[in-house]
A and B are shown apart, each in its own frame.
Chain A
Amino acid sequence: MPPIDCEDQELLEGFLTETTELIEKLDDDLITLEKASDDTELMNRIFRSIHTIKGASSFLGFDLLVKVAHKTEDVLNRLRKGELVVTPEIMDVILEATDLVKLLVGDIKAGDIQEREIDGTIAKLLPFLSENAGAAQKAAEPVQPVSETSPAQSVETPVPDAQTSPEVAPAPEAVPESTPPSQPQPAPVPAPKPATDVAPKKAPAPPKPADSKGDDLSDNSTVRVDVKRLDDLMNQVGELVLERNRMIQINQDLQQGEAERPDFQEEFGKLTKRMSFVTSELQMQVLKMRMIPVEKVFKKFPRIVRSMSRDLGKEVDLQIFGEETELDRSVVDEIGDPLIHLIRNAMDHGLESPDERVAAGKSRVGTLVLAAVHEGNQIIISIKDDGRGIDTERVGRKAIEKGLLTEEQLAALSQREMFDLIFLPGFSTKEKATDLSGRGVGMDVVKTNIKKLNGLIEIKSEKGQGSEFILRLPLTLAIIQSLLVEVEGEVYSIPLSSVLETIRVDQRKFHMIGGQEVLKLRDMVLPLIRLQKVFNVQQRSESEDFCYVVVVGAADKRMGLVVTRLVGQQEVAIKSLGNYLANIPGIAGSTILGDGRVTLIVDPVGMIEGNE
């Protein structure tokens, strides 16, 4: 990390944590503000956030950041004083400025401060600061009906220190040509490319950095833990220490030959129970600390939906439920992207334009419901729209057009399998790729990420009524419920989250289709994989007629794993196999069983992929 001009690393870290939090909140607040522009409390909070960011960054000497924050603050100040009125256009600019702040903070965080082009954004802010803000507002956005209040304001002086950044271009003419801050950007962020030649008010640019950069910002290298949770943890550890002492005592008794005592066994049994109780409590506590509310991901979405609905000319009511649902941070980190794609998908393909909706007898405003809920050891996230639903016929035709499958194959597909077609890489019903969709990548990303998390995707859709995408994800990736199976004497562990069912079958019922062993299971033809073969396990005994098939699913695929025997269910902690053995096909990791032996965890996802 190249040294930042800041002696006190701790100070810097504090700054970053605080700023990141403020920015996250800011995005949310700004969107809310647009809807409730007369909420002074909210307005003040937004102002304070930006003010804090400005203050802290000037203290640490981040000049670029100060400049941007400062101008934004000025505009906000005028809004706060009622000198300006909240309009979508002002919000666009403020949001863009917030994005720039994010970008700059991101740079600082990455330890790599670069000269970024900030004048463009600042130039957009300036018109709102000039003496005749009302007029500037008019000049910049001719379409926008100027609010009645603005002429009155023109008398008032601009905020006192509006001139602190001398190099800023004179405002009015800078506006039309101001491009988003895209010039020298070696950063991984794709330069916000739209609207380079279009008038700035149409610019769909702001959301772009928010999508990609926002992720970086909310990265989770530090945790804030409730003190109460820490206290609880300490209590648990205290109990564990007591139990350990008891264990040492019992061991001493054993050494001294007191094991014959009648109550010894009972004592030991009790200790075992208490130990197991305390450790599972402890496990829960630690797990809880790793949990963060899914809100962390969800709160990005109002912003994305807002900008998309503006771009697409659709009216959308986004409803979010269950944002307080907690799940493991590792999962939270991974679900952001798939959810964005699913939301984009719903906005672009699912929901119709207001006119179409009216024509179809629906209300003008489409509804998009994002909900999270716990169910056992899983979290279920659903994205539901009341749009046009998936047109399976069209999907099928497209798939054939694109050469992804043949007529005969299509004819054999069930309704569900038809839905699954949209997950094929390269699949898109759009004729032309746009900025938003049509490249056939999005749903593939969704599938890949969900698979990576050992999750499942389910699609429900009715033509004309809307679609629902349901994601089932494990709560945590560190400790999992697993099914232990035996393959010719070797024990393997299969994540229970992927297991759909287990069946005992006669091997003579297996069929061979094109070199692939399959099993007819109810109305489904299940491809089979013999673990013995993929793992090269030596045959130990005569093969029996009966064996067990573990039906596993990953994302949208199903498959049967053939094993010799089922051993049982156990909660296991995942251990990595280290760098050297990290990428063995079909193996996700390892775990240690009660007897101290290592057992490998099967990776059903990899298996299914490998078999394709």
Chain B
Amino acid sequence: MQDALVPVKADDAHGELIQLVSFNLDQEEYGVDVLKVREIIRMPVVTRVPNTPHYVEGVINLRGKVIPIISMRKKFGLMEAENDKQTRIMVMDVEGELMGFIVDAVSEVIRISGSEIQPSPAVVTGGIDQECIAGVINQAERLLVLLKLEMMFSRDEKKFFSGM
């Protein structure tokens, strides 16, 4: 699986087809590499973990494995929203660790060619850290923000996680 990932990434710039899972967050549409997404689940009971950054919702039991849950909205500084029927947790592989991200809704898997990815315009995304945006995909009637998972957490945040 890891191996399969490499050519796709390497060929980003050369117009190879890549597959993205698209999801919604506060009226914007985002995409992440399909190979990073392990599964998409509904909201289970989340156990709060004390003394963690505010965007860490807690941990859940994913078939016997305990994984942390991050609220994408809180992480990106967006308005908080009630969980509803559409709310999903995307379980993704962030640098070898499984993590769940709460998103408003997951829409579909799309194929795009690497050439469609444009560098993100400077201020397009409001509160979102620029670092984790790999680019913007501008298709006929939609605008998709491509996220780079490995940049989700800044160095300081990682230090906080591992060195408290």
Measured CB to CB, the residues of A under 8 A from B are 490, 534-537, 575-587, 590, 592, 596-600
Q: A-B pairs with CB below 8 Å: how many? A: 78
Report which of B50, B56, B64, B161 forms a contact with A586, defined as CB distance below 8 A.
B50
Chain A residue at smallest Cβ distance from B56? A581
Nearest 4 CB-CB pairings of A with B: A535-B50, A598-B47, A583-B164, A575-B66
Q: Residue B51 at the A interface, CB < 8 A?
A: yes
Known contacts A583-B162, A596-B61; decide if A578 and B68 are in contact (CB<8 Å): yes
**Could you tell me which residues of chain B, from 50 to 98, have a CB within 8 Å of some CB in chain A?**
50-52, 56, 58-61, 64-68, 97-98
Give Cα A24 to B20, complex, Å: 55
Asked whether A587 lies within 8 Å of B67 as measured between CB atoms, the reply is no
Contact yes or no, B51 A535, CB < 8 A: yes
**Contacting residues, chain A, for B97 (C-beta < 8 A):** 578-580
Q: Report yes or no: A590 in contact with B66, Cβ–Cβ below 8 A.
A: yes
B163 within 8 A of A: yes
Q: Which residues of B contact A598 (CB under 8 A)?
A: 47, 58-61, 66
Q: Per a CB cutoff under 8 Å, which of A579, A584, A596, A597 touches B51? A: A584
Assess whether B45 is interfacial by the CB under 8 Å rule: yes
Roughly how many angstroms separate A541 CA and B164 CA in the complex, as a whole number?
A: 32
Residue B109 interfacial (CB < 8 Å): no
Interchain CB contact under 8 A, B59 and A586: no
B103 at the interface (CB under 8 A from A): no
A581→B49 contact, CB < 8 A: yes
Give residues of chain B (11-61) contacting chain A, Cβ–Cβ below 8 Å: 44-45, 47-52, 56, 58-61
Q: A535-B50, A597-B47 are in contact. Are A582 and B162 (CB under 8 A)?
A: yes
List B contacts of A587 (CB < 8 A). 49-51
B49 contacts A583, CB within 8 Å? no
A577 touches B68 (CB 8 A): yes
B99 in the interface (beta carbon within 8 A): yes
Task: For the complex, give the distance between the alpha carbons of A499 and B148 in Å.
Answer: 45
Give 30 CB contacts A-B under 8 Å: A534-B50, A534-B51, A535-B51, A575-B66, A576-B66, A577-B59, A577-B66, A577-B68, A578-B67, A578-B98, A580-B97, A580-B99, A580-B153, A580-B162, A581-B68, A581-B161, A582-B162, A583-B163, A584-B49, A584-B51, A585-B51, A586-B50, A587-B50, A587-B51, A590-B47, A590-B59, A590-B66, A597-B45, A597-B47, A600-B59
Q: Give the residues in chain A near B56, CB-CB below 8 Å.
A: 581
Min CB gap B50→A, angstroms: 4
When C-beta atoms are compared, the residue in chain B nearest to A573 turns out to be B64
Task: Determine the distance from Cα of A580 to Cα of B58 in the docked complex, in whole angstroms.
Answer: 12
A530 CB to closest chain B CB (Å) equals 12
Bound: A581/B66 CA distance, A = 11
Asked whether B52 lies within 8 Å of A581 as measured between CB atoms, the reply is yes
Least Cβ distance of A571 to chain B in Å?
16
- Chain B residues, CB < 8 A from A596: 44-45, 61
Tell me which residues across on chain A come within 8 A of B60, comparing CB atoms.
598
Known: A536-B50, A582-B162. A575 touches B65 (CB 8 A): yes
Contacts of A599 in B (CB 8 A): 47
Chain A residues near B66 (CB, 8 Å)?
575-578, 590, 592, 598
Q: How many whole Å from A70's CB to the nearest CB in chain B?
A: 46
Would you give the shortest CB distance from A441 to chain B, in whole angstroms?
A: 24
Chain B residues, Cβ within 8 Å of A537: 50
Which residue of chain A has the shortest Cβ distance to B67 in the bound complex? A578
**Cα distance A579–B97 in the bound complex, in angstroms:** 7
| Residue from B51, B64, B162 having most chain A Cβ neighbours under 10 A | B51
The answer to whether residues A584 and B65 also contact, given A578-B97, A590-B47 and a CB cut-off of 8 A, is no
CA distance A158 to B24 in the complex (A): 84
A210 to B135 alpha-carbon distance, docked (Å): 57
- For A577, the chain B residues whose CB sits under 8 A away are 49, 59, 66, 68
With A579-B161, A584-B50, A587-B51 known, 5 other A-B pairs at CB within 8 A are A536-B50, A579-B97, A581-B52, A584-B49, A590-B66
Q: In the bound complex, how far is the Cα of B115 from the Cα of A256, in angstroms?
A: 55
Using CB atoms, name the residue of chain A closest to B96.
A579
Contact status A490-B48, CB under 8 Å: yes
Looking at the assembled complex, report how far the CB atom of A600 sits from the nearest CB atom of chain B, in whole angstroms: 6
Nearest-neighbour CB distance to chain B for A123, whole angstroms, equals: 48
Question: Nearest Cβ in chain B — how far from A57, in angstroms?
Answer: 37
Complex-state Cα separation, A142 to B66, whole angstroms: 67
Question: Complex: how many Å from CA A587 to CA B56?
Answer: 15
CA separation between A46 and B68, bound complex, in Å?
Answer: 54
Shortest Cβ gap from B156 to chain A (Å): 14
CB distance from A486 to the nearest CB of B (A): 13
Complex CA distance for A581 and B60, rounded to whole angstroms? 13
Quick one: which of B124-164 are within 8 Å of A by CB? 153, 161-164
A445 vs chain B, min Cβ distance (A): 22
In the complex, what residue of chain B is closest to A576 when comparing beta carbons?
B66
How many angstroms from the CA of A577 to the CA of B68 in the assembled complex?
7
- B52–A592 touching, CB < 8 Å: no
Cβ distance A582 to chain B, nearest Cβ, rounded Å: 7
Complex alpha-carbon distance, A579 and B157, angstroms: 12
Q: How long is the Cα–Cα vector from A579 to B160 in the complex, in angstroms? A: 11
Interface centre among A534, A580, A599 (most CB of B within 10 A): A580
